[in-house]
Each structure stands twice: as structure tokens, then as C-alpha cells.
Amino acid sequence: MKTKLTFLMLLISIILFAQNGINYKALIKDTNGNVISNETIQIRFSIIRGSGILAYQETQNITTTNSGLAIVTIGEGVPLGGVTFDQIDWSLDSHELAVSIDLGSGFINMGSSDINYVPYSIRASSATTAEVAGNVEGLVYKNEGNGTGWRLRDRGVNASEGYGAIGLNAIDLSSSDANSLSLIYPYGATGDYSFAIGELTIANGDYSIAMGYNSRASGAYSIAMGNNTVANGFSSTATGRETLASGNYTIAFGRDSEASGSQAVAMGDNTEASGITSISTGYYSRALGAYSAVFGYYNEASSLASVAFGRYNVGGGNALNWIGNDPLFEIGIGTSDGNRENAVTVLKNGNVGIGNNNPQELLHVSGIVRIGNETLEDTGSNQLSFGASVIPDTNNAYRLGNSSSRWIGVWATDGTINTSDKREKKNIKELNYGLAEVLQMQPVSFNWKNKNNPDLKLGLIAQDLQTLIPEVVKSHTWEKDEISGQLTKKELERLGVYYSDLVPVLINAIKEQQDQIKTLKSTLQNKEKTNQEQSQLLKSLLDRVEALEQSNN
């Protein structure tokens, strides 16, 4: 049967995996494109020298996986012709790998591909320094004063491209067009166990990785990838373009983002996270306060543990201390740096402002409050103006005040309380709404059509919410006939939303998120424990190696 062979992974670097063979994977399909799974096949591997001479040949019998994969290690099969895999002399010429497959009716030639660097690395690991330098192209195993590591041929401290000495067990695949050695940050993988690839990359931190163009990983265990990225904090990561991760355990993604606070994260375009354990995302947003988070456009989270959304929020506050009048939560709706404004402001003393940047009470609203099509507003002189009559839904059922407490002013200590006594309820069931519905909600900003008020409003569209949680949308009323007492359902001309009924949904969503947070926290703790154990093991091994070296000397 004729087959098609799809290459998934031909070679795995011996540098990274230190195997005495070549890893090989292939997806086996028939002529109709169907995967051949769980079938025993025979594969013949032939390594051919550039001059056409057969250097090595072996066969292996394997069974394909459920997904049709053939997974083998070349060098572990049955040799043909008396030559074993470790006897191949890779330095004599270039080599290519030819593959033939037998599904039961004879071998079918599947073609061949060039073998590049990996076998040369196998050869170099057992060759002398002189032999490597003189006969092997590609990677060379060399010691430039800091220990032995891998580096591209004709690169290093003796070249003119500004390289530093290769680090212990480091891998340097970088390229440099510099004219001289940089005394501050020499190019290449100069840190112990570091890795550098790309152009003008620097991995001078131990266990660091630098990739791309002009990227520098200076901190131990740091990673710098992309264009002009710098990761000089311990265990820091910088990716993208001109990003900087200078604090320990920091992450900087995107373009021109900087994470300088310890354990901070900066993502997006020109974002800054300088507060400890802060997060900054979006465009020109800054998380300056410790444990703060900022999202959006030109926003600032300046005070301790504050959060900001939207654009051009007011910000401000103490970055390190908890002060009651400082903002805790802000939704910005400003238009420029000189015209910063908040739609919602929550202070650390508990005061909430809607349209007010400095609320003086638990709820401080500046402007008109709209209920349906009606309005409520402050008209001055200790007076509130209602744009409609104020009447109860059911006649003679509820009251506002009583005979001993009459209206001259209405004061509430505990705010508005919704009746929730279990004795008044029936058909009680657990709520199934939660995080899935919350994630589908689409908050919007808008302007009313029928009001001479250009102010921007925020909210939800009732029609959208009705498809998710119809119970919280007011679409009808029940009118009771005064004579018969029968209830009649009457549809409303305009829909409304029971925003308070969304609270149980949000509670469920928070509980689901908390479960996810606990799971992630447990995973992180396990990883941190594993890292500590590995660090202790590594230190123990290094101590043992040092002791052995001293005893040998």
C-alpha cells in the first residue's frame, strides 16, 4: 500500500536533550489521507554521506499510536552492514537521512532530508578541542575562561564582533556585527547555563535566555525576547519591542512597557508598573501604587491597592500607605491629560461617587438620576425635584413613614433594605447563573435620545441582558382588578433592569473566580516549592562537584 508521510519533527538538539541518537516523529497516512493508527510497521533509516556512500543503516519495528504517529530514536534500531550508530564519522562530509517504510508488502522510499547540526554536536561532544575547531562546521564546544559551552564556529572572544567569554554550559547561537568588544555588556551567552540566539543578543545572567535583536537578559533566570528588550531583574521576563523588566520577578510585554516594581507586570503600549506587585495594561497606563492595577487608556493607579479602568481617570493618592480619602476604584471618562474625569469613584473610606471625583458621603451623585423615563435631580435650597409622581406599586400595601414619623426630611442609617425573609418566599432553588453569564454581559456607554442632556451614561442594554438572565429584566407588570381581585399581566412599552437582582449572579461569579484563584494559588505554591527543592538540589550537586574538583587537585 502506498502511503504519505508527514514530517512533524525530524531532529531534536543533542545540546538540549543529550541523547545518543536522533529523535524522529512522522504521521503515517494512506493514499486517501486516512491516518494509519495502531498498526505495526517497519522503518528503515539510511544515513548517506554527501558522496553517496552509505554510512549507516538500521531497521526498527514499531506500532503507530492512536493518532497515527511513528515515534522512534534513530540509533536504537538493528544495524545493517556491521556499522553502529556511534561509529559514524560526521566530520568526513555532509550527511542526509533517507527513510523507507514497509507496511507489509515491501519497503517504500519516502525520500530524504539533509542532516544539519545535531549529528555534528554528537561528534563534537566526544572530540578534542583541536578536532572540533578544525573539522566541524556549525556549533563548537569550547572553553573561553568561564567554562565550556556551545558557540557558533568562528564566534567568540577572539573574534571582532564584541563577544564575551562563553558561560559554563551555555549555548550561544547569536550573531553580532559590532566592531569591538563591549566592556559593559559583551554579546553572546556569557552567563552560566545561559542561551542566546539572534543578533546582538546578550545573555549574561546565569540561567538566562536572550532571543531576537539587541535583547539583553542580565538578571539570573531572566528571559529577554524580541526587539531591544531588557530583562535585568532576577527571574524577570521582557518580550516585544523595547520593553524593560528591571524589577525582580517582573514581566514586561508589548511595546515600550516597563515593569520596575518587584513582582510587577506591564503589558501593552508604553505602560508602566512601578508599584510592588502591580499590574499595568493598555496604552500609556501607569500602576504606581503598591499592589495596584490599571487597565485602559492613559489611566493611573497611583494609590496603594487601587484599581483604575477606562481612560484619563483622576488618580492620585499615596502609593504606600492606606489613606481614607485616597481612591480605591476609579472608572475614568476623561478626554485628555488636562481634563481627567471619573464616571465612578470609590474612596478607601467607603464613599462612592457617581459623576463626582471626591465623594463626601457613602453615595455622592453629581447630576441627574434617571429612573426609567423619569428623573431625580438636585435643584438647590435643600430641595429635590422629581420629574414624575411618586406612588407605590400596590395601593395600601406599603408606606413611607408613619403617623409618628412624618416627612420633614428622610434619613437612612442602613440605606435601602430589600425584604429577604425566608418566611415570605417559596419555590426556593439554588441559582445556576454565575461567571459564564457575567462574562457575556456587555456594559455600554450611551446618551439618551429624548433628553437635552449630552452627558454620557453607563449601563446595560435590557434586550441583551434579557437573553442571558431574563429574570432581572422588567418587561411587564401585574395589575390587580379592584373588584374581582384577578391579576392581569401587562407588557411594558420600555424594558427595565433589576440591577439589584444581578447581585446574586455576581456573588456566584465571584465564588467561581475564587475557586479558580485558590486552584491557581495552590498550583503556584507547588511550583514554588518545586523550584526551591530544585535549587537546593542544584546547590548540593554544585557543592559536590566543587568538592570533587578540590580533591582531584
CATH code, residues 123-318: 2.150.10.10
Read off the pLDDT band of 378 (50, 70, 90). Answer: low
> Mind listing the pLDDT tens digit for each residue in 114-129?
775 444 445 444 443 3
Mean of pLDDT values over 320-327: 96
**295 Cα distance to chain centroid:** 15
SS3 267: strand
Fold classification of 3-119 is Immunoglobulin-like (2.60.40)
Q: Which residues contact 549 (CB under 8 A, 6 or more apart)?
A: none
Residue with cell 462612592: 352
pLDDT at 380: 62
> Mind listing the pLDDT tens digit for each residue in 176-230?
765 544 445 678 888 999 999 998 899 999 999 999 999 999 999 999 999 999 9
Mean of pLDDT values over 431-454: 86
Query: What are the sequence ranges of the domains in the chain?
Result: 3-119, 123-318
DSSP run (H or E) holding 225? strand 223-227
* CA 213 – CA 241 distance, rounded (Å): 9
- State the Rg of the chain over Cα: 35
* Higher-scoring residue by pLDDT: 334, 399: 334
Residue with cell 458621603: 361
Confidence check: pLDDT of 347 > 60: yes
Burial class (CB in 10 A: 0-12, 13-18, 19+), 494: exposed
C-alpha angle 134/136/142, rounded to 5°?
75
Contact 345, 333 (CB under 8 A): no
Read off the pLDDT band of 294 (50, 70, 90). Answer: very high
